[in-house]
Amino acid sequence: MSAPIRSFLFVPGDSEKKIGKIAGTSADAVILDLEDAVSAGRKPVARQLVSEFIAAEPSAAVGPQLWVRMNPLGTEHALSDLAAVVASRPAGIMIPKIDGPSDVLRVHHYLEALESANGLPSGLIRLLPVATETPLAPFRLGDFAAAGISRLYGLTWGAEDLSAALGASTNIGPGGAWATTYQLVRSLTLLGARAADAEAVETLYVDIRDDHGLAESSRRARAEGFSGRIAIHPAQVEIINAAFTPSSDEVEFAERVVEAFAADVGTVALDGKMLDLPHLKQAERVLALAGRPRSS
Ligand code: COA
Ligand code: MG
């Protein structure tokens, strides 16, 4: 199991200045955005800037994995985005506003053709759908498990486009936490991703000055089973990386658990407590999280 990506930093694809900051980020991955951060008139410029940037950064170089957010299927931009960026070998594509696994399969097939046309290994480019941005999408989160999309990296969720699609005036509940609908789709994303043996990626934290709230909610997300989070500002990256990295105490304990199970037993006692196989699985996950996915 390779270590999951802790932080995905969004970078507007038409901003030369912000793209220029990628070299200095400690994000595990960046997502060069061709969708909502780029106005309709700037799409062609963004496509070209992003393709050239990725092509100039060989994937073996030190630094973050380079992902691209394409425009939604059904828009005039989607196929042009894929056709433009595949040759540059992005690590993955984020697909916004899907209605379910069949949309992701469509992109998978487009990528098979484009990888072949560009002499790239089949399945090289991974996929991360934003799986809750339409009212229909949340009902299909459980269907990823049987969809057999081998290049699926994980699932993430978003509250902004869903609330717009629902005609909601807010996505926040009375206590300041997500309103019920968004808590529901967040949990379904976590369950759907894990059922599909894929990563669950927490949504962005919109208040870029609230470091404490970001740290707190990110730690909670990891405790619930998410393995990484979207960042929208460079200052959020270190906080997210720290929250999704197990502490040295956690790693040490996990090593002791794995060691205790080395004798091929189903139950052991450690520090006076009974541990069985779910604890072993949890410990192995902590050790996987402690490894790092960045190219080195
Ligand atoms: N990627 C790379 N660099 C970024 C960045 C990002 N996402 N966000 C900010 N920066 C840079 C700025 O250009 C600025 O550089 P400078 O110091 O040389 O001027 C520096 O980091 C500090 O930025 P700051 O002034 O605090 O923020 P801002 O007002 O320039 O930008 C946002 C605020 C929210 C517009 C910006 O963070 C952003 O564009 N985020 C990503 C938005 C996006 O992609 N959304 C789509 C997904 S929801
Ligand atoms: Mg959006």
Checking if the pLDDT of 233 tops 90, the result is: yes
Find out whether the beta carbon of 233 lies less than 6 Å from any atom of ligand 1.
yes
Q: Is the CB of 199 under 6 A from ligand 1?
A: no
Unique residue bearing structure tokens 């399945």: 123
Whether 268 and 255 have beta carbons less than 8 Å apart is answered as no
Residue 221 has pLDDT above 50, yes or no: yes
Give the separation between CA 196 and CA 148, rounded to whole angstroms: 8
Query: What DSSP designation does 272 have?
Result: T
| Residue the block writes with tokens 């619930």 | 224
Tokens representing residue 96 in the block: 């916004």
CATH superfamily of 7-243: Phosphoenolpyruvate-binding domains (3.20.20.60)
**10 Cβ closer than 6 Å to some ligand 1 atom:** yes
Bridge-based pairing state of the strands 267-270 and 199-202: unpaired
Long-range CB contacts (within 8 A, 24+) of 73-78: 73/97, 73/98, 73/103, 73/106, 73/107, 77/34, 77/43
* pLDDT over 90 percentage in the chain: 92
- If you average pLDDT over every residue of the chain, what do you get? 95
- What are the C-alpha distances in Å from 35 to residues 48, 96, 177, 221, 294? 14, 8, 27, 26, 25
Residue 13 Cβ < 6 Å to ligand 1: no
State the CB neighbour count (10 A cutoff) for residue 76: 9
Whether the per-residue pLDDT at 295 is higher than 60: the answer is no
- Assessment of whether the complete model's pTM goes beyond 0.75: yes
pLDDT, average across residues 48-68: 87
pLDDT attached to residue 1 = 52
Task: Evaluate: CB of 8 within 6 angstroms of ligand 1.
Answer: no
pLDDT confidence of residue 293: 61
Distance CA 240, CA 21 (A): 18
Q: Whose CA is nearest to atom 24 of ligand 1?
A: 233
Nearest ligand, measured from the Cα of 21: 1
- Ligand 1 atom nearest residue 160's Cα: 48
CA 160 from chain centre, in angstroms, equals: 17
pLDDT band at 291 (very low <50, low <70, confident <90, very high): confident
Structure confidence at residue 62 (pLDDT): 74
Tell me the mean pLDDT in the region 176-205.
98
Share of the chain above pLDDT 70, in %: 97
Instruction: Point out the least confidently predicted range of 142-146, 190-194, 225-229, 285-289.
Output: 285-289
pLDDT, average across residues 149-162: 98
Q: pLDDT, tens digit, for every residue of 4-30? A: 999 999 999 999 999 999 999 999 999
Say if residues 193 and 155 touch (Cβ distance below 8 Å).
Answer: yes
- What string of H, E and C letters represents the secondary structure of 206-230? CCCCCHHHHHHHHHHHHHHCCCEEE
Q: Which ligand gives the minimal distance to the CA of 236?
A: 1
User: Quick one: which ligand is closest to 13's CA?
Assistant: 1
Dump pLDDT digits (tens) for 252-280: 999 999 999 998 888 999 999 999 999 99
Q: Are 293 and 28 in contact (CB under 8 A)?
A: yes
Domain ranges of the chain: 7-243, 248-289
Q: Is the pLDDT of residue 294 over 60?
A: no
**Rounded Cα–Cα distance for residues 93 and 83 (Å):** 12
Structure tokens at 68: 């691209």
Q: What is the pLDDT of residue 57?
A: 84
Q: How many residues does the chain have?
A: 296
Instruction: Output the DSSP codes for 32-53.
Output: EE-STTS-GGGHHHHHHHHHHH
Q: Judge whether residue 296 has pLDDT over 50.
A: no
The residues with which 68 forms a beta bridge, in sequence order, are: 32, 93
pLDDT at 235: 98
Regarding the beta carbon of 37 and ligand 1, being less than 6 Å apart is answered: yes
